[in-house]
A and B are shown apart, each in its own frame.
Chain A
Amino acid sequence: MAKTRSKPNAAAEPKASKPDSDPSTKKTIPSSDLNPPKLFVLPKDASQSARIVTLDSPANGTPSKYLFCPEKGFYEFTRIAAPKKASRSWLITSEKGVGDEEEKPATQSNDAGQIGSGYITKTSDLFVATSLDMLFLILPILAPKSVKDTKQHFLSLDDHLDNLISLSPHWKPLLWQTSSLKRRIEKRLASICDTVDAGDETMYRLSHTKLLGVLHKKAERMTKNGLPASMEDKFVKPALNIPIMNIKRETSTLSVTSTPESQDSATTVTESQTTSATTATSFTSDPELPPTTLTTPPTIPPLLRLRTALNYLLTAYIPPTLRQPLQTLLTSPQPHSTLHDFTPLTAHLTALATLRSEATALRSISDNISRKRGFADDDEAAAEREEKKQKKEDEERRKKTESRGVKQLKKVNTSGMMKLSAFFTKAPVKKKA
């Protein structure tokens, strides 16, 4: 894995000058370069013959830059950029002055080194080379050209390589220069393909099951130490949140997603596999019972993490034509495979979804109650309104029929005059019976 040290970085800089980066070592910087240098973090022990190549990205087929080291294999570049609002820049100084520091804000003082007191790049992008399984790079040739084209033929390694070269011309010099590459490709190919021996040649054809197995292992590795926090927050925690239906229920999700579980070793992973199978049966046997007391079983979060990792791999590295069959393969029951059974997870998530929809339905009902008139007092309110209306009409009518004298008396200043009821007591209702 790449180390963030300046030494190889600086060493790699000249190499990165091939297509777009052009580290200026000139003293004066007249104006901003059209093609400013880019900052790379390259693997420490990359060999001298390592170079950047343009190959088709497996996920979308667009030409992308990869670093190829004959010994270590392929590296993909991950761009790390500051958010647009935080305008940062890089100050690049000569090797001598910088020492071990890698990231420096532009404001930091610069030594008057050979690079003409340093170079400031406007963009704060940092390209980090991370190792990439070449499996992904050869996937495009194994994937069907279109979704409909399901028929795949067994092809010999050389045919595959020819395909590879026709797809991305950079493969050719790589294969030419690095003798071991062909062997390695063959090895990776074998791990994901069904093979047929035809005479002295071995023919290869992509096997979805094998590919999924490989991906699965990768995903397991990914989740072994827990997913990155951002992924955990985005995909795992919200998905497992149990909607609060009433106050009594406690949310148990947060406690379950704690780290100790995710740090379980590979052995416990297989163990949880078996337990998940048992919970699956119990879950499906009484699906009506849990909704009121639905809690997240401890086997669920690891499963969800695994699936999240798998989904990430599928979207980031797998050709689109392969995604669909792999997904179906993943969701379909696999009695014999070593893959995890995701059915308990799916069941749990469906239960959660129904709970959630119930909660929203309830909420919308309660919204209705609070915001609108309920049905119960509708008549009453209508009657009340009717009464009010009638009163208003009466008042209006009274006003119209008011005689002139009455109107004039309304204007009389009656201050200081007590009401007659103060003098005369109220008579019994029926005086004259």
Chain B
Amino acid sequence: MLEARLGQAALLKKVVDAIKDLVQDCNFDCNDSGIALQAMDNSHVALVSMLLRSEAFSPFRCDRNIALGINLSSLTKVLRAAQSEDILTLKAEDSPDVVNLVFETKDSDRISEYDIKLMDIDQEHLGIPETEYAATISLPAAEFQRICRDLSALSESVSIECTKEGVKFNCSGDIGSGSIQLRAHTSVDNPKENVEIDLTEPVALTFSLKYLVNFCKASGLSDQVKLCLSNEVPLLVEYGLSSNSYLRFYLAPKIGDDE
């Protein structure tokens, strides 16, 4: 059986909020190392991969590998009943029909319990290799979200050019064009505002802004977001979570259709 106690319900709330606009249903694969999730959007151009390591939970118990097929809208509905500070416990049998969620207030005065019916979901699981990216950019998640939002008003797609000088988000649409350039800078006082660029070779790729905006819904999960780019390889947008857990998004670049 599975029993995973999460100190703050906010984490799961935010994760699910970030994913639910990309995929409808997905399997939460639970094993002794934690809870993992991998799902693609309907068009199969974007992929979300989440890993909540067992260390993120206390306690975490998973006797067997369990796949919890959950409709994310349903999960969202239930999670709305939890307050961010609540202690959340996920429970499931070994071959479950439902997943049980228990929300406890900090002082344990209020305990709410929900069951969500599970679904059988057929999803193909992609093996994602460890990749050495040509460029890795870390920037404040809020900054990235703002860039994507601002540019999406102008165009469908953005080209991300990474050079030694910095990273340039460039777009042009019907009403005109726009570009945002960020230079790497490190602030000792406020490491949240750091922009770090790790570049082995210049990269220029074009991506769909709508998808990027969608990914940015995970911005609340962490202060910094990491963008990893290599030519002709999907963009990786990673939001690091506590205890080495992560929420990653992959997006296929636009090739040959630059405008």
The smallest beta-carbon distance between A58 and chain B, in angstroms, is: 89
B140 in contact (CB, < 8 A): no
The smallest beta-carbon distance between A359 and chain B, in angstroms, is: 52
Q: What chain A residues lie within 8 Å of B124 (beta carbons)?
A: 421, 426
State whether A412 touches B211 (Cβ < 8 A).
Answer: yes
Give the contact-size bracket for chain A. 20 to 34
Q: What chain A residues lie within 8 Å of B33 (beta carbons)?
A: 432
A415–B253 Cα distance when bound, in Å, is: 10
State whether B125 touches A429 (Cβ < 8 A).
Answer: yes
A410–B24 Cα distance when bound, in Å, is: 12
Residues of A within 8 A of B (CB): 398, 401-406, 408-410, 412-433
Pick the contact of A420: B44, B76, B156 (CB < 8 A).
B44
State whether A402 touches B24 (Cβ < 8 A).
Answer: yes
Most B CB contacts (10 A, CB to CB) among A398, A409, A428 go to A409
Q: Which residue of B lies closest to A432 (CB)?
A: B31
Pick the contact of A401: B73, B211, B255, B256 (CB < 8 A).
B73
State whether B254 touches A416 (Cβ < 8 A).
Answer: yes
Give the contact-size bracket for chain B. 35 or more
Q: What chain B residues lie within 8 Å of A425 (beta carbons)?
A: 126-127, 129
Q: Which residue of A lies closest to B255 (CB)?
A: A416
Q: Which residue of A lies closest to B45 (CB)?
A: A417
State whether A403 touches B20 (Cβ < 8 A).
Answer: yes
A403–B42 Cα distance when bound, in Å, is: 12
B21 in contact (CB, < 8 A): yes
Q: What chain B residues lie within 8 Å of A413 (beta carbons)?
A: 156, 208
Q: What chain A residues lie within 8 Å of B40 (beta carbons)?
A: 420
Q: Which residue of B lies closest to A411 (CB)?
A: B210
The smallest beta-carbon distance between A395 and chain B, in angstroms, is: 11
Nearest first, the 7 closest Cβ-Cβ pairs linking A and B are A405-B21, A416-B257, A427-B127, A424-B126, A416-B254, A419-B44, A401-B73
A355–B191 Cα distance when bound, in Å, is: 99
B187 in contact (CB, < 8 A): no
Q: What chain B residues lie within 8 Å of A422 (beta carbons)?
A: 252
State whether A403 touches B43 (Cβ < 8 A).
Answer: no
B198 in contact (CB, < 8 A): no
Proximity bits, B32-71, A CB within 8 Å = 1, else 0: 0100100011111111000000000000000001000001
Which residues in chain B, 134-190, are within 8 Å of chain A measured between CB atoms? 156
Q: What chain B residues lie within 8 Å of A428 (beta carbons)?
A: 127
State whether B47 touches A405 (Cβ < 8 A).
Answer: no
Q: What chain A residues lie within 8 Å of B233 (beta carbons)?
A: 423
